[in-house]
Chain A
Amino acid sequence: MTTPRLLVVAYAALLVLALGRGVPLASPVLLLVVLLALGELWLRALAAESMPALARLGLATVAGLVSLPFTAIGLHAAGVRIHEESIAAGLAGLLAAVAVVVLLRERAGRVAGDPRLARTAAAVAVPGLLTLVVGVAAVRVYDALPHPPEPGYTSLALNGWAGDVAGPVRIPAGGLMLPIRVSSAGEPEAVEPLRVRVGDRLVSARPLRVSADTTRAVEVYVPSPPDGCLHRIEVSLGATSTVLYGRGAETGRGGASGRGARAC
């Protein structure tokens, strides 16, 4: 194929790729066309001579493939953000630059086309396609077959504002409602004891139904600790628990962080 024709094919494929991105099956094929054309141009620009068909095909593929990181590194060096449009534009620029070198070299005469190339390409593409079909089928079959169940779990987490707690919480005299999140996956429905402890003292306990494969928000009441000292507050559900620290209402002047609280 002549260089101008190769360029037209590459630019057409790149244009379709850039405009119709994400078309299943077509997009990878179009990209392959662009990269093979670019790789062939690299070979014509650098090593303008005939060579065995398989060597030419392999080198063109490799040269086309490495054009992608070269383009990305070039964009990065130029301070351009790497994304779909910039990569497509970079490849278009690279195609143009390499094509100019090829056309300049070809003024002194061009290398004759190799009729074996297309047949060698087919010799690689056909088994490649067959392997792809077999491979995809094998993956689909494997995925569709039943697999052993994965181990389940029940999780307990501080939720909402409590999830952002970064230090001791000031608990008003009337106590507060602490939001928690209960999630279960891969385990049967169960009833677990939901307990709240302030320091060593158990302040509440009630059963909580944990449905299978659900996530729910729950609030638990935390009474005010008896003094302004730092108290450990633990909310537990079965074997899981969350722990935060709080001070009683007496620490009002000390603020949420507890600074300035009297000695405990």
Chain B
Amino acid sequence: MTVTLLARPDQSAPAAPEARTARPWWWCAASLTAAGTAGAALLVAANRAAEWDRGTQFGLFWLGMLVFTLPAVCWAVHRSTGPRLRVAVLAGYAGFTFLPKLLRNPFGPLYHDEFAHWRQSKQILLDGRLFEQNPIVKVVGDFPGLHSTVASVSALTGVSVWHAALLVLAAAHVLVVLGVTVLADEIWQDGRVAAVAAVIYSLNSSFLFFDTQFGYESLAIALLVWTLVALHRAMRGPARRSRAGWAAVTVMLSGATIATHHLTALALIAVMIIICLVVTVRAVRRGTPVAVPLTAWALTLAAAALVVAWLALVAPRTAGYLDPYLARALDQFAGMAGDGGGGGRTLFRASSTPWWERAAAFAAQGLAAIAMVAAALRLRRGHGAEPVARSGALAMLVLGSCYFPAALLILTPSGAEGARRSWAFSYLGIALVVAPLVVALLDRAARRAGRAVTAGLLLGACTVVLVGNTTAGMNPSYRFPGPPVFGSDTRSSIPEVRAASAWLRATQGRELRIVADRYSGLIFGSYGGQNPVTGSVTFPTYDLYLTQPGQPAPRRLIEQLDAWRFGYLVVDKRMAREVPEIQIYFETNEPIPHDGRPAFTLGQLTKFDSTPWTIKIYDSGNIAIYRFDFERVAR
């Protein structure tokens, strides 16, 4: 009986009257359309400044972002804005924040993982099969959620795979913003707080670029947010039938999440466990209805069972793929603690970001910490009395607190990637807990001038956090176009490499097993349709390149290559002239020194011109392609 009281009155009254908007909607639409157009023009100008190397791209970019986002946030948070207009503003905000990534590479894949997903989607359309192994990111094929969606959209509509991907990614981006809004509304039952939560979530380091890329997390994060919405509704369900219905929606969406992305599925389970623990503790201490923790645990166990089953039966390679990153990160962290800093990485080393972006990156962490402490104190005072809502808020406080320990991992080379990815999840907690604090601060000032000052300060803080988090989360070469840079995932794809991959595909066919470096591998594995290997501890193909001229190639490696029918070797001679921008030649943990000088001599890379077991079939100056003739190795 008590459970029935948990139902929100507005949910059962669909035609409840809405607050009227004091300002006309057309004024909002016109002003934001004008601001959006100006913002887009400035983003274009920023990209042009970057590609012509004028050095003004950072300022133009942020000016373009703020020209739209600041007034949009004002409209979304203003007290007089009606609920529908608020939704419209947030939808526009989500759409506009997709623009930076859209303008970065509107016509094809550019980021590392995008090549893998693009290839995987094309492969589905070519071969009609799922779960094919991907040579660029090994486990991508085991999580077909995104690329099967993209391939289906492309097949049904006739648009290209890339355009289908853009449609799906734009939809997912809007769904994330609206999902956070709905989730915040579930917890706080206040449209303004919900809007602020969506805006705060959009300040996370992955929002503008990483989670808008053609990568599985971009879709999976939207699924995670909406799964949490369904979970909350299941916990709050007024009757068994209602809870069962929402439980089914929760299980369905958590199933879709695990079919889309491993880390997001694991994060979802972690968030669900946090929620379970909080509601259980509160049920024990406060005597809240037992149906709430029971529902939460049942759904968490169901989702966990799905995740475990998928990882064990469909994607057993995932643990082996993820484990080294975590293990090495912890080793490096221990090394930093033990040897006074050895094994760590220097933030913004050799980065071209301006000083104010770097300063903002550090300030953003401080502001987040201050906001979380203030939000925790406010929560302690008992704001938000409804049991499920309060449990949700406390769970989000715990989730948001996970942001700070993860930030320490950014100091280790192996942990940095994981830390960045975790922020998209933990920031959800920060957003949902800090949002009511922001609204309370706005409402606190009695006078109009005071409110304006408070709003200005809060907007300023948000700007610093947005700039800082984005800077911490993405290299400039990912954010902006520019002159070719060797050893950058995004800028080393020069026409010469693409031409070489096109030639190999045209003359020798696709799905050939080739040995390559990281950057050639991206192009040959995606545009070229080949199966490149770029080396690993168990298959150290980089030893081929490292062998000194006149020395025999490692026999065991040659036998492996021969046994596994590797046919071609790609050599990028830039490895002997330049240092890779991201400090990787082949793979993250390669045994190759990175001391600011090229790790290879030209002799090491051109020795294949004189080894009888390599036939040089193509050369374009930087790129050479050799065909293996393993019969000649022993002679």
Contact = CB atoms under 8 A, between A and B. Distances in A.
B372 interface: no
Given A124-B87, A150-B484, A156-B619, A135 B130 contact: no
B494 interface: yes
A5 interface: no
A168 B508 CA distance: 19
A84 B32 CA distance: 39
A220 interface: no
Among B152, B155, B179, B222, the most chain A Cβ lie within 10 Å of the Cβ of B152
A124 B256 contact: no
A63 B230 CA distance: 11
B14 A114 contact: yes
A72 B98 contact: no
Contacts of B610: 232, 243
Interface stretch (B142-150, B336-344, B353-361): B142-150
Contact of B106 (A51, A142, A154, A158): A142
A128 B174 contact: yes
Interface in B232-266: 233, 242, 245-246, 248-249, 252-253, 256, 259-260
Contacts of A257: 631
A62 B148 contact: no
B233 A28 contact: no
Contacts, number: 320
A54 B91 CA distance: 11
B579 to A, nearest CB: 18
A120 B617 contact: no
A87 B148 CA distance: 10
Interface string A50-62: 1111110111011
Contacts of B316: none
A81 B126 CA distance: 10
Nearest to A62: B226
**What secondary structure prevails in chain B residues at the interface with A?**
helix
Among A18, A59, A65, A167, the most chain B Cβ lie within 10 Å of the Cβ of A65
B418 to A, nearest CB: 25
Contacts of B129: 76, 81-82
A185 B499 contact: yes
Contact of B223 (A48, A62, A70, A119): A62
Interface string B573-605: 000000000000000000000000000000000
Q: How large is the interface on A (under 10, 10 to 19, 20 to 34, 35 or more residues)?
A: 35 or more
Contact of B621 (A27, A43, A142, A154): A154
A64 to B, nearest CB: 10
Interface in B197-211: none
B52 A148 contact: yes
Interface string A223-250: 0000000101010000111111100000
A12 interface: no
A153 to B, nearest CB: 4
A234 B616 CA distance: 9
B609 A241 contact: yes
B371 to A, nearest CB: 26
B37 interface: yes
Given A82-B128, A130-B92, A145-B48, A68 B631 contact: no
B152 A68 contact: yes
Nearest to A88: B156
Contacts of A167: 615, 629, 631-632
Contacts of B229: 55, 58-59
B88 A240 contact: no
A54 B179 CA distance: 9
Given A124-B174, A156-B619, A72 B181 contact: no
Contacts of A54: 87, 178, 181-182, 185
A71 interface: yes
Contact of A131 (B98, B242, B245): B98
B106 A143 contact: yes
A166 B98 CA distance: 49
A31 B157 contact: yes
Contacts of A134: 33, 36-37, 40, 96, 99
B394 interface: no
B323 interface: no
Nearest to B493: A150
A123 B36 contact: no
A1 interface: no
B620 A69 contact: no
Contacts of B4: none
Interface in A21-39: 21-23, 27-28, 30-31
B548 to A, nearest CB: 19
A69 B106 contact: no
Contact of A69 (B13, B145, B615, B616): B145
A183 interface: yes
A139 B162 CA distance: 14
Interface string A106-136: 0000001111100110011011101110110
Nearest to B146: A69
Contact of A153 (B124, B145, B621): B621
A17 B507 CA distance: 37
B619 A240 contact: yes
B14 A112 contact: yes
Nearest to B145: A69
Contact of B92 (A113, A127, A141): A127
A17 B98 CA distance: 27
B246 to A, nearest CB: 5
A157 interface: yes
Interface string B202-228: 000000000000000001001100100
B627 interface: yes
A54 B595 CA distance: 54
Contacts of A68: 148-149, 152-153
A260 interface: no
Interface in B137-189: 144-146, 148-149, 151-153, 155-159, 167-168, 171-172, 174-175, 178-179, 181-182, 185-186
A47 B245 contact: yes
Contacts of A69: 144-146, 148-149, 152, 256, 259-260
A81 B128 contact: yes
Contacts of A71: 152
B401 interface: no
B532 to A, nearest CB: 19
Contacts of A84: 155-156
Contact of A82 (B47, B103, B148, B171): B148
Given A51-B233, A152-B495, 13 more contacts: A18-B156, A22-B157, A27-B158, A31-B153, A57-B178, A62-B226, A63-B253, A65-B219, A112-B14, A127-B29, A130-B36, A154-B621, A163-B508
12 contacts: A54-B181, A58-B226, A66-B253, A72-B124, A73-B259, A81-B129, A130-B95, A138-B44, A139-B106, A143-B107, A154-B620, A244-B615
In order of increasing CB-CB distance, the 7 nearest A-B pairs are A22-B158, A131-B95, A81-B128, A127-B92, A155-B620, A27-B157, A72-B148
Interface of B: 10-15, 18, 29, 32-33, 36-37, 40-41, 43-44, 47-48, 51-52, 84-85, 87-89, 91-92, 95-96, 98-99, 102-103, 106-107, 124-125, 128-131, 144-146, 148-149, 151-153, 155-159, 167-168, 171-172, 174-175, 178-179, 181-182, 185-186, 219, 222-223, 226, 229-230, 233, 242, 245-246, 248-249, 252-253, 256, 259-260, 483-484, 494-496, 499-500, 503, 507-508, 609-610, 612, 614-622, 627, 629, 631-632, 635
